[in-house]
Amino acid sequence: MDGDRLKVLYLTPEAVPFAKTGGLADVAGALPEALHQMGIDVRLILPCYRAVLEKQHDLERFDSSFWLQLGDAFLETRVLGSRTPQGVPVYFIEREDLFDRPNLYGNNQGDYYDNCERFTFFAHAALQGIQTLSFRPDIIHCHDWQTGLVPALLQGPYRAEDFFSRTRTVFTIHNIGYQGLFPPAKLRITGLPLNRFYHPEGLEYWGNLSLLKSGIVYADALTTVSPTYAKEVQTAEYGRGMEGILRRRRDALHGILNGVDYRIWDPSIDVHLPAHYDITDRSGKAVCKAALLEETGLDRGLIDKPLLAMISRLDNQKGLDLLLAILDQLLVRDTGLIILGSGDPHIQAALEQAVGRFPGRMALRTGFDDPLAHRIMAGADIFLIPSRYEPCGLTQMYALKYGTLPVVRATGGLQDTIASFERVTGRGNGFTFSAYAPDAFFDAILQAISLYGERDHWTGLQSNGMAADFSWARSAEAYLRLYADLLGKPEAG
């Protein structure tokens, strides 16, 4: 390290509040701020998307531009600057034809055809741009396939550069289902030598080039976003073909649970709620429930009945097939259900049909509506997360803080955060099921509905959840230990 202060560079394709498509942005926005609070010199770098330009009107333009080779072309770029709300420096790689687009990765027709070129350019520009800014990182922490090329570049064309001679890399897998697959002819664009990097122990993946595999193979350390997911991705059921290389790298693989930003997700201060409440005074939760019933057009008589909710991408990975299989059995009972999400049009159509069959009992809101998500979290009684797999999951941790009891499938981060209620001891913070089957899901919901009528048990279970601490400070401390361990080891290879 230069001096006594640890220097960490976060390379990410998205981060709040600048650009977001999913939970990765929450992690990349909150974790650096937690490290910043601990005195770490941490900085972010991401592409200068249209979403960034639309939100950030005071971007700093540094003096120098520079040129990069991308295949046969030489392209000019520059670095722009800003800061997070907590003062963490953020850099943006500007290249209008690559990043100034309506969406981050693709559109309704699929991924952008040139994503390999876009994120190869980003990788090279980040490594060269940070040199122009004279920020010499001890750790480069890469996130998901869009940054997976960086560890390989540091083992290849950038290896001889003194600037990165002491830099170590960490690569985080947020969801192994997104693998950055491209035809092998694209390798020449990356700047990596074919004979050294394109083979089964390198970037080759069933005849394709995988940027996710690049990060897995060449980073100094690997992390997943929960301890259980780190184990699951080493199995054929969850590894998506990467389980073999992950088993071989198991000594470098660490599962570190994501955290929650309680500045945003806390019912005692949540700006989106009609009333506030906390563990000592929960009267505001009833106010939030009544307001939610009014807002969504649900039967006001549900105020004293279990109100279930789901905020999710409408996709079978999220367990929507299980929900559809039991929907009618559930709604003929004295319950209500509200769903917020978007995704598979066939799933959406099936849910809309159910709304028609159960007017006043079920509501569906599609699209992204963050304020409504907060109001649902506060107004609901039971929160459903029946995922087929879930690397970490954040909504179950939000639900706990809001006194909304989760019903989850015991997989990935859901298994690491939710423990089933034990009637004798009063322990637990929710309800879990193991088998990926409609009956197992339905039985877990029935347990929650049954307990709803037992107010002493119910309020005790709420207290267990609301008292839990999943703050980012805990996760940041785990990452700091990993960084320190890496910097204490001699360079691999």
Residue 237 lies in a domain: yes
Residue 276 lies in a domain: no
User: Do 339 and 308 touch, CB atoms closer than 8 A?
Assistant: no
Backbone angles phi, psi at 311, to 5 degrees: -120, 110
Tokens of 402: 């809001």
Q: What is the pLDDT of residue 368?
A: 81
Residues pairing with 382 in the sheet: 308, 405
How deeply is 76 buried, as exposed, middle or buried, from its count of CB atoms within 10 A (0-12, 13-18, 19+)?
A: exposed
Q: What is the pLDDT of residue 491?
A: 53
**DSSP line for 239-268:** STT-HHHHHHTGGGEEE----B-TTTS-TT
Residue 493 lies in a domain: no
Q: What is the pLDDT of residue 21?
A: 87
Residues 255 and 331 placed together within one structural domain of the fold: no
Residues 355 and 404 placed together within one structural domain of the fold: yes
Residues 213 and 297 placed together within one structural domain of the fold: no
Question: Which of 177, 235, 245, 237 has the alpha carbon at shortest distance from 391?
Answer: 177
Long-range contacts of 353-358 (CB under 8 A, 24+ apart): 354/324, 354/327, 354/328, 357/328, 357/331, 358/331
Residue 335 belongs to what domain range? 283-469
Virtual torsion, Cα 441, 446, 451, 452, nearest 10 deg: 100
Residues 232 and 329 placed together within one structural domain of the fold: no
Give the start-end residues of each E strand in 273-418. 307-311, 336-341, 362-366, 382-385, 405-409
Q: What is the pLDDT of residue 119?
A: 98
Report pLDDT digits (tens) over 415-470. Answer: 999 999 998 999 999 999 999 999 999 999 999 999 999 999 999 999 999 999 99
User: Do 382 and 405 touch, CB atoms closer than 8 A?
Assistant: yes
Question: Which of 98, 105, 179 has the alpha carbon at shortest distance from 145?
Answer: 179
pTM over 0.85? The answer is yes
Q: What is the pLDDT of residue 216?
A: 98
Report the alpha-carbon distance of residue 208 to residue 187 in Å, rounded. Answer: 10
Q: What is the pLDDT of residue 29?
A: 93
Binning pLDDT at 50, 70 and 90, where does residue 493 land?
very low
Residues 223 and 310 placed together within one structural domain of the fold: no
Peptide bond into 17 cis (omega under 30): yes
Long-range contacts of 322-329 (CB under 8 A, 24+ apart): 322/386, 322/436, 322/437, 322/438, 322/441, 323/384, 323/386, 323/441, 324/350, 324/351, 324/354, 325/438, 326/438, 326/441, 326/442, 326/445, 327/354, 328/354, 328/357, 329/442
Report pLDDT digits (tens) over 386-395. Answer: 999 999 999 9
* CATH number, domain with residue 364: 3.40.50.2000
Q: What is the pLDDT of residue 128?
A: 95
CA geometry: angle 322, 180, 124, nearest 5 deg: 145
pLDDT at 2 over 60: no
**Residue 489: CB partners within 8 Å, gap ≥ 6?**
none
Residues 314 and 334 placed together within one structural domain of the fold: yes
Report pLDDT digits (tens) over 391-413. Answer: 999 999 999 999 999 999 999 99
Residues 48 and 152 placed together within one structural domain of the fold: yes
Q: What is the pLDDT of residue 490?
A: 57
Quick one: average pLDDT of 96-116? Answer: 94
Quick one: average pLDDT of 227-248? Answer: 97
pLDDT at 492 over 70: no
How deeply is 139 buried, as exposed, middle or buried, from its count of CB atoms within 10 A (0-12, 13-18, 19+)?
A: buried
Residue 462 lies in a domain: yes
Quick one: average pLDDT of 138-147? Answer: 98
Report pLDDT digits (tens) over 16-60. Answer: 999 998 889 989 999 999 999 999 999 999 999 999 999 887 898
Report pLDDT digits (tens) over 318-344. Answer: 999 999 999 999 999 999 999 999 889
Report the alpha-carbon distance of residue 80 to residue 95 in Å, rounded. Answer: 11
Quick one: average pLDDT of 126-135? Answer: 94
Residues 434 and 289 placed together within one structural domain of the fold: yes
In Å, how far from its chain's centre is CA 410? 18
pLDDT at 269 over 50: yes
Residue 143 lies in a domain: yes
Residue 492 lies in a domain: no
Residues 93 and 197 placed together within one structural domain of the fold: yes
pLDDT at 145 over 70: yes
Q: What is the pLDDT of residue 22?
A: 82
Tokens of 79: 């670095």
In Å, how far from its chain's centre is CA 258? 8
Binning pLDDT at 50, 70 and 90, where does residue 99 land?
very high
Residues 41 and 87 placed together within one structural domain of the fold: yes
Residues 239 and 98 placed together within one structural domain of the fold: yes
User: Do 141 and 11 touch, CB atoms closer than 8 A?
Assistant: yes
**Percent of the chain predicted with pLDDT > 90:** 88
Virtual torsion, Cα 311, 141, 191, 489, nearest 10 deg: -140
User: Which of left, alpha, beta for 31 (phi over 0: left; psi -120 to 50: alpha)?
Assistant: alpha
Q: What is the pLDDT of residue 1?
A: 52
Q: Number of folded domains in the chain? A: 2
Residue 275 lies in a domain: no
Q: In what order do the strands lie in the sheet with 405-409?
A: 362-366, 336-341, 307-311, 382-385, 405-409, 431-433
Q: Residue 468 to residues 5, 69, 260, 320, 418: CA-CA distances in angstroms?
A: 32, 50, 11, 28, 11
Residues 15 and 78 placed together within one structural domain of the fold: yes
Residue 353 lies in a domain: yes
